[in-house]
Amino acid sequence: MWGLQHRKMIEQEEAMQIWHDKQNPLESIKNKRDPVNHPSHYQGKKFEVIDIIEDFNLNFNLGNAIKYILRSKLKGNTVQDLKKAIWYLEREVKE
């Protein structure tokens, strides 16, 4: 349910962005979203997930756990992402 609502919200935001881009073409070029280097599902209100992982100098397992936790409500499959986070945490505890 939440995933469908979130997708609709994203679609509305994208439609608004397209309208805005048409009204302000030069500004839209400067502020274009970058799905490769800065995907929206890794963007928080103030921080990007990679910045948090690097700032805390987290290893692979802990970094991935944080990544999956932080994006869990943004990709449409919260339970799956949280299970992935647990999987990485369990690997970390075993090592």
pLDDT (tens digit, 9 = 90+) per residue, 57-70? Answer: 999 999 999 999 98
Domains in the chain: how many in total?
A: 2
In angstroms, rounded to a whole number, what is the distance separating the alpha carbons of residues 25 and 65?
A: 38
Residue 5 CA to residue 83 CA, distance in Å, equals: 22
Same domain, 47 and 19: no
Angle of helix 60-71 relative to helix 78-94, nearest 10 degrees?
160
**Residue 20 — pLDDT band, cuts 50, 70, 90?**
low
Q: How far lies 2's CA from each of 11, 23, 32, 46, 94, in Å? A: 14, 32, 27, 23, 33
| Domain extent for 65 | 34-95
Residues 17, 43: one domain? no
Same domain membership, residue 44 and residue 19: no
Q: Does 38 have pLDDT greater than 90?
A: no
